[in-house]
Structure formats: structure tokens, C-alpha cells
Amino acid sequence: MEERKMTQPFINYAPETCAYCGGKGWAGVSHATCPACGGQGSVLVAQPARKCAFCGGKGWTGVRHHLCPACGGTGWAHALRHEE
């Protein structure tokens, strides 16, 4: 029996707190629905969860809190976005 390197066809996803809104589901002074998680407060992240290297896990960049272009604001690498 030939030993084959294990590949992972199924990635395990687990809900993690959305970084952009901190789990509240809204962001900003107007309490607008969080663009990163769609108001859910959490996002599905491929496990093991790793923070987005681009924004350092904050979900935003710069002084104006621009949505991180790398993670979409979730703060996590390999997060599933709700929009499809």
C-alpha cells in the first residue's frame, strides 16, 4: 500500500470574531452594518485561524479605518466572506 501525502480536501472553518466591528455587527458613528461580516459579528475562518498579516488583525488600515483590502475587514487570513 502506497503511502500518500495527506491532502486536505475539506478545510475546517470556525466562526471567529469580526475584527472590524469587534463582534458588534456594526461600525462607525452611524452604527452602519459592518461591511466585513455583514452585521453578524463573526466570520468563518479557515482553521487554524491566522490573523491577517496586512492589517495585523485589526481589519482596517490607515488613520481613516479603511477596510483592509487583504482580509476584507475581517482581520483574519482565509476568512469566508458573506457576499458571494
Residues that bind Zn ion (CB under 5 A): 18, 20-21, 34, 36-37, 52, 54-55, 68, 70-71
Report the nearest approach of Zn ion to the CB of residue 8 (Å).
23
Report the nearest approach of Zn ion to the CB of residue 30 (Å).
14
What is the C-alpha separation between 83 and 32, in angstroms, rounded?
A: 17
Report the nearest approach of Zn ion to the CB of residue 11 (Å).
19
Q: Please identify, using beta-carbon distances, which residue of 4 and 23 lies nearer to Zn ion.
A: 23
Instruction: With beta carbons less than 8 A apart as the criterion, state whether 28 and 22 touch.
Output: no
Q: Hey, which residues does 50 pair with through a beta bridge? A: 77
Q: Please identify, using beta-carbon distances, which residue of 34 and 49 lies nearer to Zn ion.
A: 34
What is the C-alpha separation between 48 and 39, in angstroms, rounded?
A: 23
